[in-house]
């Protein structure tokens, strides 16, 4: 796996170009490029410049507070954190949750997938894809899309709204609801909410199909761009259901290598630590996870829609499965690796989410049945869920006094850290190298990052004792004091 | 000997021995309060029940009503003072409503809504107050204590156990547990105690309940604290 362009030699002699902030992503990040005097790219890095601290300030809090507190990590996908924490606490309590509770959580989660994928594709990325990467920057936004393609924008906005309504009906609020609790749920779906959602769901399925068609048209219109832009080899990871189906709420971990061969399969969520390690680099607050058996240089991997659609054996809803087959066929026997294929895979998942919601809304267990169960209390639990952006891991230890003693979060965007950096380098090498930089050229870098739908707010939750050297120098550059924390 | 006084320009009858707050409530007029509770004698510490009588700002929970008094309560000046008191209470503790399980049942939060408090205004103190989770049934989260002493009074005067006390003075004042170890588990406190259900904020919490009742369906989510107080007598 290519990691050149990570650190240039003779950095102080190079010219520095910064994209700060990276726009139309969640959270704050920046890209630095170091160029030599002939405008050749010598170094390209995606830096995460936020610093948060959930892993530490969750310690000492009671376990039942955690699913509500941790969802404040994010305003886009709070449901993912809400449910991953709830699943981890189910394990702490030793509770296999009830049928009704699981279906309600699934409905909430697929509502989240629908709204987040719609938000990302229509609001954040479609301006690049519909207008071109170097189009007029003032129109390259959702308002510009609404003016030029009003029906596309309208469907995007209403798809997202529908997903938000699913979340409100199951969690109580569109953002930062409290429906899921350790051991189950605290509410059923109200009949009037069910009826209101059912009245609209067929539209949503149709519009999701149209979204997949739109992405496919874009691919067909410019295959050279869509099949090559930011293309590189990578391992992939996701949860997969026991029978190999795509399951975004629960499953076991599966890794495939860059050729699509299964490396590791059926690893229970509770054993994630036997697979994954995290590496720290001095220039980013975001860690670099990797598959332990391959090491940090070879073991990094992609997560999210592009990984999931190709890691599962099938999608258990018919329309999305038909689209998955077409997507796989597009690779002609090879895994599809182009960065822009993330959008295609994401829209297939959007369609899958709409189908799952449609099927769930006909299920009477959402309206009645036990919501909470009892179990045998333990002290540790891992909850893994496939969040819109990829695999989300929550791991907690809880003392006998009910207070959290340890918290480890590995969020989707963190898994994609190396992949995003590699995408940035591929694009920098291919499109920017040796050229005079313009806004449009720099936007190529952002397009590559955006394809991953990174959530940089989520990805910078960690807080700890980072090794730090502080030097105080006088005007002449002489070090007069030095403090080291390791 | 009873009589009448004017409350925001309206006549309010009172009986001998009633305070302004008691007489106003009996006549259907709400006065905000935190440390006052209908089952306990006046305490006069939170000052949220401040009213203006004859140009002076007084605690209505403690001042006996007198014939012919003119009392101003629901005025911009008095509500502004109450809001400032609330803002000081918020910054003195660690009140993080978004993840607080008392949200919707908390009188401090409900009063902030009632009095249109839209910001903390003052710099937060961020005090370091570790929780006490030693008791099997009850969690103490001292971060949210507003020093109303309702738990102190309930435990001492109703439960006859004296589990809680305030200690320290001024800015160092804080709630403590009356045990050599300082831990609730080392007292005879029980979840059935009156003190277990008296806290107007989120300090004394039954364990493992958390968010069983959804946010949005709680006491002050459904009605303002003034209507809850006047209609349910709470």
Q: What is the pLDDT of residues A318-353, one digit of tens each?
A: 999 999 999 999 999 999 999 999 999 999 999 999
Reported as half-sphere exposure (CB side, CA atoms, 13 A), residue A407 has a value of 27
Residues of A in contact with B101 (CB under 8 A): 64-65, 68
If contacts are CB pairs under 8 Å, which of residues 193-212 in chain B contact chain A?
207-212
Give Cα separations from A43 to A10, A15, B95 (angstroms).
11, 10, 46
- Judged by CB atoms closer than 8 Å, whether chains meet at B216 and A403 is answered as no
Q: What is the mean pLDDT of chain B?
A: 96
CATH classification of the domain holding A159: 1.10.645.10
pLDDT digits (tens, 9 = 90+) for B161-215: 999 999 999 888 999 999 999 999 999 999 999 999 999 999 999 999 999 999 9
* B133 and B220, same domain (yes or no): yes
Tell me the two tokens of residue A304. 């999210």
- Asked if B213 reaches chain A (Cβ–Cβ under 8 Å), the answer is yes
Q: Residue A16: what pLDDT?
A: 87
| Tens-digit pLDDT profile for residues A418-461 | 999 999 899 988 988 888 888 888 888 888 888 988 876 555 44
Q: Are residues B125 and B60 in the same domain?
A: no
Q: Say if residue B94's pLDDT is above 50.
A: yes
- At A477 the pLDDT is 57
pLDDT of residue A446: 86
- Could you report the predicted ipTM of this complex, rounded to two decimals? 0.92
Q: Are residues B7 and B66 in the same domain?
A: yes
Query: Do the beta carbons of residue A22 and residue A418 sit within 8 Å?
Result: no
Quote the minimal CA–CA distance from B208 to chain A in Å.
6
Could you list the beta-strand ranges (E) of B73-153: 138-140
Task: Please compute, for residue A56, the number of CA atoms within 13 A of its CA located in the half-sphere on the CB side.
Answer: 9
Any domain includes B205: yes
A362-375 pLDDT per residue, tens = 999 999 999 999 99
Residue A451 lies in a domain: no
Return the structure tokens found at A15. 């010219």
Indicate whether A202 belongs to any domain: yes
Are B148 and B219 found together in one domain?
yes
Q: How many domains are contained in chain A?
A: 1
Statement to judge: residues B134 and B179 lie in one domain: yes
**Domain range spanning residue A175?**
54-422
* Residue B178 forms part of a structural domain: yes
Do residues B119 and B68 share a domain? no
Q: Please give the structure tokens belonging to residue A181.
A: 């609790």
Comparing A154-163, A454-463, B9-18, which segment has the lowest mean pLDDT? A454-463
pLDDT computed for residue A90 by the predictor: 98
Q: Looking at the partner chain, which of B130, B134, B211 has a beta carbon nearest the beta carbon of A181?
A: B211
Give per-residue pLDDT as tens, B101-155. Answer: 999 999 999 999 999 999 999 999 999 999 999 999 999 999 999 999 999 999 9
Q: Do A62 and B139 touch (CB under 8 A)?
A: yes
> What is the extent of the structural domain holding B42?
3-74
Say if residue B192 is in the same domain as residue B113: yes
Q: Domain end: B21, B39, B74, which one?
A: B74
Q: What is the pLDDT of residues A59-114, one digit of tens each?
A: 999 999 999 999 888 878 899 999 999 999 999 999 999 999 999 999 999 999 99
Q: Is A477 exposed, middle or buried (0-12, 13-18, 19+ CB in 10 A)?
A: exposed
Tell whether B94 is covered by a domain.
no
The total domain count for chain B is 2
């Amino acid at each position: 796996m290519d990691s050149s362009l990570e650190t240039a030699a003779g950095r102080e002699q190079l010219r520095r170009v910064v994209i700060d902030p990276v726009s139309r992503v969640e959270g704050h990040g920046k890209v630095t490029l170091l160029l030599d005097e002939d405008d050749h790219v010598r170094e390209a890095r995606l830096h995460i410049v936020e610093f948060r601290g959930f892993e530490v300030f969750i310690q000492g809090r009671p376990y039942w507070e955690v699913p509500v507190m941790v969802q404040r990590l994010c305003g886009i996908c709070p449901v993912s954190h809400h449910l991953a924490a709830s699943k981890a606490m189910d394990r702490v309590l030793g509770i296999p949750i009830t049928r009704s509770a699981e279906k309600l959580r699934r409905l909430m989660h697929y509502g989240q997938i629908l709204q987040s994928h719609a938000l990302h594709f229509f609001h954040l990325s479609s301006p690049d894809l519909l207008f071109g990467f170097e189009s007029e920057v003032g129109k390259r936004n959702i308002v510009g899309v609404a003016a030029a393609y009003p029906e596309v924008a309208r469907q995007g906005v209403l798809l997202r709204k529908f997903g938000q309504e699913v979340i409100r009906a199951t969690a109580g609020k569109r953002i930062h609801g409290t429906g899921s609790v350790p051991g189950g749920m605290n509410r059923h779906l109200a009949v009037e909410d069910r009826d209101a959602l059912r009245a609209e769901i067929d539209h949503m399925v149709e519009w999701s199909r149209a979204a997949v068609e739109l992405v496919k048209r874009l691919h067909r219109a410019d295959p050279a761009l869509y099949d090559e832009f930011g293309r590189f080899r990578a391992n992939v990871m996701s949860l997969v259901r026991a029978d190999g189906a795509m399951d975004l709420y629960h499953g076991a971990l599966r890794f495939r290598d860059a050729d699509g061969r299964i490396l590791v399969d059926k690893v229970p969520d509770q054993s994630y630590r036997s697979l994954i390690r995290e590496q720290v680099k001095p220039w980013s607050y975001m860690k670099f996870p990797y598959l332990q058996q391959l090491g940090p240089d070879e073991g990094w991997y992609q997560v999210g829609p592009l990984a999931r659609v190709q890691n599962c054996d099938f999608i258990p809803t018919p329309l999305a499965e038909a689209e998955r087959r077409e997507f796989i066929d597009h690779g002609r026997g090879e895994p599809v690796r182009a960065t822009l294929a993330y959008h295609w895979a994401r829209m297939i998942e959007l369609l899958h989410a709409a189908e799952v919601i449609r099927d769930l809304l006909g299920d009477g267990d959402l309206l009645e049945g036990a919501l909470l169960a009892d179990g045998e209390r333990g002290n540790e639990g891992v909850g893994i869920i496939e969040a819109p952006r990829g695999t989300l891991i929550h791991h907690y230890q809880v003392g006998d006094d009910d207070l959290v003693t340890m918290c480890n979060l590995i969020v989707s965007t963190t898994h994609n850290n190396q992949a995003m950096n590699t995408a940035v380098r591929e694009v920098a090498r291919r499109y920017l190298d040796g050229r005079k930089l313009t806004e449009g050229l720099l936007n190529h870098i952002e397009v590559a990052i955006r394809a991953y739908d990174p959530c940089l707010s989520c990805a910078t939750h960690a807080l700890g004792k980072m090794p730090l050297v502080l030097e105080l120098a006088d005007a002449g550059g002489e070090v007069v004091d030095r403090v080291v924390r390791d | 000997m009873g009589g009448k006084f004017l409350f925001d320009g309206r006549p309010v009858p009172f009986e001998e021995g009633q305070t302004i707050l008691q007489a106003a409530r009996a006549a259907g007029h709400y006065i905000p309060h935190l440390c006052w509770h209908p089952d306990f004698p006046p305490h006069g510490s939170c000052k949220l029940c401040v009213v203006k009588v004859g140009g002076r700002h007084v605690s209505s929970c403690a001042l006996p009503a007198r014939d012919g008094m003119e009392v101003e309560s629901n005025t911009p000046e008095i509500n502004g003072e109450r809001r400032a008191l609330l803002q000081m209470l918020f910054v003195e503790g660690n009140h993080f409503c978004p993840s607080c399980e008392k949200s919707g049942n908390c009188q401090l939060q409900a009063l902030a809504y009632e009095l249109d408090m839209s910001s903390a205004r003052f710099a937060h103190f961020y005090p370091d107050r570790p929780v006490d989770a030693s008791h099997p049934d009850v969690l103490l989260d001292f971060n949210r204590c507003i020093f109303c002493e309702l738990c102190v009074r309930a435990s001492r005067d109703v439960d006859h156990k004296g589990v809680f006390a305030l200690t320290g003075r001024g800015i160092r004042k804080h709630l403590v547990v009356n045990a050599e170890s300082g831990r609730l588990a080392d007292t005879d406190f029980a979840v059935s105690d009156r003190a277990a259900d008296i806290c107007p904020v989120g300090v004394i919490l039954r364990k493992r309940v958390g968010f069983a009742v959804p946010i949005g369906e709680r006491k002050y989510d459904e009605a303002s604290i003034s209507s809850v107080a006047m209609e349910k007598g709470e």
